[in-house]
A and B are shown apart, each in its own frame.
Chain A
């Protein structure tokens, strides 16, 4: 819940990596096939080592799944889950009839779509640019600088933007110094899409190039040489060598983003919802927070959250299906 959607995207990218590892052919067995008991005796310390994480995940990832039953109840925290009355699908009917919910859905999808067009290509372009630098020292320095904002919290990033673009910020300050009137971009719903996208670019576009740089490094330089000898200029080489080399990474990240379509930087939104207003800044996650935790309509918010969760899961699985159809590995491999 604390991670941004971008990190989550990275998580899944690494999930892919892991599955590649797990599907590797197992190393030739050193020992002869042993019985279950003997294997347990042999590996019990390994199992014991894995246990704390399993316990933590069961408690904090699996057990809360059961808590979703409150979506089918009229839950009251004072009487608890067992005593709360069951109401069937009533909460879901209410959610689907709520214009505020549809407003949140629309905002979420618009933001996802907008960022797909205006955020997604930025790391690719930056990676190509960096990759064309000849001096490793220069490249390493710029990389170190552009990765940095990824490690700042959203509170920090929004605060920085507030100081630059807010009503009392640097931009207004400069405008006023030159005789224009100041402007407050931080509270303007009309420019909100641009604002959050530029925040996302500032924070995470640099970090996003890491994956593309690794993919670029994996392209065989002889391909470029061969293409150049055949008379391809730099643009044709980019089209015929570089882009095919990046294709699988681009497809993977694109699909992951689509699978994550209902999640748009939750902390980023909740920090700015008050300033901009719910009309423009309410997304599904903030909708759940405000209806459930703030207004105490637990079951209603849980129903909205459950709808989002189920659709998200479906989107991820569908995205993987598409990845396999494209001949890519997707998040998990078929094995």
Chain B
């Protein structure tokens, strides 16, 4: 209690502790390092062993008795097998198609709607906004949704995987909040110069909102890519199944995917195959993630708390 204020010790890098803050003890520091290391390992460890197993030869997997922890013999057999035009290849194509189409559609309608609602006091602003917001409080339920989709004749149609989940009010609200923060002066002067709302949106607002648009596109894209249950509900034709459904039947239910195991070339490295399907389901997310994640806290989430 007596000597709380210590001079900050000079550090080699990084910002220094403020003068009034006491230097933590060795035990505290060590504890922090241990906990954070464990947390990081808990996330990355499973991904590491799954990736490693998917690129290991059958011999290495047998030697390890399952998942591979120490790199052994390298082999891309698993990927060669599942990407040779069989069920997984088709599922990847279906998932990519749905994700691209769905994300485009969702982004177009969401950006339009967010901009249309970005000016309080405009015609019908409040009723439209309420129509959106109220949907966050209820969901009609699984049975009525199913009856609707089947009533529309969308069973076994890819649109059943896109249209019901095309709109996320949450995403629209984030976009709208961002659009509302854009300096009105710029927009007003464009309007005085005779630019239409469409042109203002396309040429002024959108170029100013690249970060938030990227994050929202990621949210939508990930949603479509990961969608699993809609396909279980609405798709009965197994040749139309997206990747997540195939992943479940192959990895969780242990179903051997027909046409996948090439009898002529010896025993299929089944575990490596399963791991390869998992990796393929992760890859698009891992590819887009680094470009978008830096925007998370900056543009998008801070307002949610400060409000």
Where the two chains meet, the residues of A that have a C-beta atom closer than 8 Å to any C-beta of B are: 1-3, 7, 10-22, 26-27, 29-30, 36, 39-40, 42-54, 56-68, 70, 77, 81, 126, 129-130, 132-137, 140, 142-149, 151-156, 158-160, 162-164, 168-170, 173, 176-177, 202, 206, 210-211, 213-215, 217-218, 221, 224-225, 228-229, 231, 233-234, 249, 266-267, 270-271, 274-275, 285, 288-289, 292-293, 298, 301-302, 305-306, 308-309, 312-313, 316-317, 329, 331-332
For the complex, would chain A's binding face be called helix, strand, loop or mixed by DSSP majority?
helix
Q: Top 10 closest A-B pairs, CB basis?
A: A67-B144, A49-B116, A153-B226, A64-B140, A50-B116, A20-B307, A305-B141, A53-B113, A43-B123, A135-B14
User: From residue A237, how far is it (CB to closest CB) to chain B in Å?
Assistant: 9
Counting CB contacts under 8 A, is B305 at the interface?
Answer: yes
- Whether the pair B132, A57 counts as a contact (CB closer than 8 A) is yes
Bound-complex Cα distance A134 to B302 (A): 20
Known: A11-B169, A155-B247. 15 other contacts (CB 8 A): A15-B169, A17-B303, A43-B119, A45-B197, A46-B119, A60-B167, A63-B148, A147-B293, A160-B278, A202-B43, A214-B306, A229-B20, A231-B4, A309-B139, A313-B138
Q: Please pick, from B44, B46, B147, the residue contacting A163 in the complex, using a CB distance under 8 A.
A: B46
| Nearest-neighbor residue (CB-CB) of B19 within chain A | A225
For the complex, would chain B's binding face be called helix, strand, loop or mixed by DSSP majority?
helix
- Whether the pair A2, B230 counts as a contact (CB closer than 8 A) is yes
Counting CB contacts under 8 A, is B70 at the interface?
Answer: no
- Whether the pair A271, B304 counts as a contact (CB closer than 8 A) is no
| Nearest-neighbor residue (CB-CB) of A18 within chain B | B173
Bound-complex Cα distance A309 to B140 (A): 7
- Whether the pair B110, A170 counts as a contact (CB closer than 8 A) is no
| Nearest-neighbor residue (CB-CB) of A30 within chain B | B188
Where the two chains meet, the residues of B that have a C-beta atom closer than 8 Å to any C-beta of A are: 1, 4-5, 11, 13-18, 20-22, 24, 32, 35-36, 39-40, 42-44, 46-47, 49-50, 64-67, 108-110, 112-113, 115-117, 119-124, 128-129, 131-133, 135-148, 150, 163-170, 172-174, 176-177, 180, 184, 188, 196-198, 201, 218, 222-223, 225-230, 232-233, 244-245, 247-248, 251-253, 274-275, 278, 281-282, 285, 289-290, 293-294, 296-297, 301-307
Q: Which residues of A contact B145 (CB under 8 A)?
A: 1, 60, 64, 67
Q: Which residues of A contact B305 (CB under 8 A)?
A: 17, 211, 214-215, 218, 249
- Whether the pair B115, A49 counts as a contact (CB closer than 8 A) is yes
User: From residue B225, how far is it (CB to closest CB) to chain A in Å?
Assistant: 7
Query: Of A3, A49, A146, A233, which is in contact with the most chain B CB atoms at under 10 Å from its CB?
Result: A49
| Nearest-neighbor residue (CB-CB) of A216 within chain B | B305
Q: Which residues of A contact B32 (CB under 8 A)?
A: 129, 132-133
Bound-complex Cα distance A45 to B301 (A): 29
Bound-complex Cα distance A27 to B297 (A): 27
| Nearest-neighbor residue (CB-CB) of A67 within chain B | B144
> What are 5 A-B pairs at a CB distance below 8 A?
A18-B177, A21-B176, A156-B226, A156-B282, A293-B143
Query: Of B131, B136, B180, B196, which is in contact with the most chain A CB atoms at under 10 Å from its CB?
Result: B136
Q: Please pick, from B47, B122, B164, B176, the residue contacting A60 in the complex, using a CB distance under 8 A.
A: B164
Bound-complex Cα distance A14 to B233 (A): 29
Bound-complex Cα distance A46 to B110 (A): 13
Q: Please pick, from A18, A163, A302, the residue contacting B143 in the complex, using a CB distance under 8 A.
A: A302
- Whether the pair B18, A53 counts as a contact (CB closer than 8 A) is no
Bound-complex Cα distance A244 to B88 (A): 51
| Nearest-neighbor residue (CB-CB) of B64 within chain A | A173
A17-B177, A45-B198, A48-B116 given as contacts; is B66 within 8 A of A214 (CB)?
no
- Whether the pair A169, B67 counts as a contact (CB closer than 8 A) is yes
- Whether the pair B44, A145 counts as a contact (CB closer than 8 A) is yes
